[in-house]
């Protein structure tokens, strides 16, 4: 699949001319060159998309189809994504610099699995339940689609986020206006084509790439019943506030500053190689990244040596090369932001044990590369330990005893993910239960399982994605009192 210019937007199931004349030039983070252009959506385009979604929901077939029929389309979409994995992975790597191996697995295979999961769940989920009443003979508790959804996604895992929002909302029977990030529109446009090719009724899905002002228009639009947003804490607070003013439903999946606790009985030869891919995944641009590594003081130097050795061995380079483990960050502004955090770490007294700048050599004359970096002698109060850097920067923090490890892990505004590494699973589970995060790993390599809820405590968000809980977040519950002797469907 070659990246090409688009001159139209996918609105209401058709490719139509945009209302505005501005375009978005998508810049390769590897070459710093514009690779293609797409229209920049306007508020008028959002109005058209919402109108189409409203009509599709209020009068169209989609919410009136059986859940199994909707699920069959999701399953077909997932299968086609898997069949196009190589092409889609190349597109995402070109858009935002994810290493191609991660693009294949995390950026494309995982989304195909999400669509498949919700395709299956749609046919088995209990949308209706008859309960014995206290004041009525029986009550039907039914779960109905929330309505028109505005879905707003970031650039770091674009197809993954699209799947996390579209699969459950469409399984529920909602219609969706999807706003991808300006940096990553091409996979979203191909996804729209895949849905159309697999029989999604017109009007159910629109794709409008645009900037923040247009996103805000989508959030405030009176024709939108729910907003599903993934992104920064600043953006989440703004969107949450706008939704609160309007009593509009919202799900917010925001940032993280996850702590990986290495207990004093951990086997570092096993723990560190399993941990580090979750620390610097996607060039460090992942909300679940395990970027705070907590080490027992008695083994601090040993942990530092293992972390530094592991990170130093990571191959930095062209993200299209399968050997590359760390590619460029998404944009020049992102690199500047990361470098600002590294300067702050030095100023606050942390030690750069590895990296701390830009990689050298002619291969890095172009591209927004940052050296994988490890800071030691870090106090948890430092800015680099408290704020989400969103780059390949790790901090190693000493602690004394399990109680202090938990205290440090919880000393954060975030609560999205985390992990504990130990030779005693019961001890590790005790730690896991005390750390206030929505997702946790106990000696485990994969932080997210699509059959279970994912989301955060504190400033890491509101609501949950994935699992049946992710589907329920796009459903409204209704109670219908029934007369004696009547059972629906009999």
Q: So which residues are the catalytic ones?
A: 253, 287
Spatial CA neighbour of 338 closest among 391, 284, 282, 283? 391
Where b means 16+ CB within 10 Å and e means fewer, 205-226 reads: bbbbbbeeebbbbbbbbebbbb
Tokens of 372: 């994988």
List the one residue out of 122, 119, 83, 90 whose CA is nearest residue 107.
Answer: 90
**C-beta atoms surrounding 337 within 10 Å:** 14
**CA 12 – CA 197 distance, rounded (Å):** 14
């Amino acid at each position: 699949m070659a990246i090409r210019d688009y001159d139209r937007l996918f609105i209401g199931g058709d490719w139509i001319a945009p209302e505005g004349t501005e375009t978005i030039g998508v810049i390769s983070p590897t070459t710093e060159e514009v690779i293609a252009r797409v229209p920049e959506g306007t508020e008028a385009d959002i109005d058209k998309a919402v109108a189409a979604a409203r009509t599709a929901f209020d009068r169209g077939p989609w919410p009136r189809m059986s859940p199994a029929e909707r699920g069959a389309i999701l399953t077909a979409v997932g299968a086609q994504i898997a069949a196009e994995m190589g092409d889609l992975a190349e597109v995402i790597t070109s858009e935002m610099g994810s290493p191609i191996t991660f693009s294949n697995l995390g950026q494309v295979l995982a989304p195909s699995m999400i669509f498949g999961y919700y395709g299956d769940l749609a046919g088995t989920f209990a949308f209706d339940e008859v309960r014995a009443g206290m004041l009525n003979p029986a009550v039907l508790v039914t779960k109905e689609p929330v309505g028109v959804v505005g879905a707003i996604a970031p650039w770091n895992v674009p197809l993954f986020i699209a799947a996390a929002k579209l699969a459950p909302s469409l399984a529920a029977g909602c219609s969706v206006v999807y706003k991808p990030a300006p940096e990553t529109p091409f996979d979203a446009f191909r996804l729209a084509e895949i849905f159309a090719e697999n029989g999604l009724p017109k009007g159910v899905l629109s794709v409008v790439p645009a900037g923040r002002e247009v996103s805000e228009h989508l959030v405030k639009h009176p024709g939108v019943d729910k907003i599903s947003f993934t992104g920064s804490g600043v953006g989440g607070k703004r969107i949450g506030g706008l939704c609160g003013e309007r009593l509009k439903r919202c799900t917010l999946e925001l940032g993280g500053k996850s702590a990986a606790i290495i207990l004093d009985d951990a086997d570092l030869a096993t723990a560190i190689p399993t941990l580090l891919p979750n620390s610097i995944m996607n060039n460090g641009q992942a909300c679940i990244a395990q970027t705070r590594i907590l080490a027992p003081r008695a083994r601090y130097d040993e942990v530092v040596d293992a972390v530094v050795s592991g990170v130093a061995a990571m191959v930095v380079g062209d993200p299209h090369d399968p050997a590359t483990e760390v590619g460029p960050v998404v944009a020049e502004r992102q690199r500047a932001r990361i470098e600002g955090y590294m300067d702050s770490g030095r100023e606050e007294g942390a030690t750069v044990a590895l990296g701390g700048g830009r990689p050298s050599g002619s291969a890095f004359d172009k591209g927004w590369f940052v050296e994988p970096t490890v800071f030691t002698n870090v106090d948890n109060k430092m800015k680099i330990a408290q704020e989400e850097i969103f780059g390949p920067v790790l901090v190693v923090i000493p602690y004394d005893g399990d109680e202090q490890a938990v205290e440090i892990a919880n000393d954060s505004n975030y609560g999205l993910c985390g992990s504990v590494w130990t030779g005693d699973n019961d001890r590790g589970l005790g730690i896991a239960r005390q750390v206030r995060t929505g997702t946790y790993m106990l000696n485990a390599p994969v932080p997210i399982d699509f059959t279970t809820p994912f989301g955060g405590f504190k400033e890491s968000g509101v609501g949950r994605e994935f699992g049946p809980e992710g589907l329920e977040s796009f459903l409204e519950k209704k109670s219908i009192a029934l007369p004696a002797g009547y059972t629906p469907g009999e």
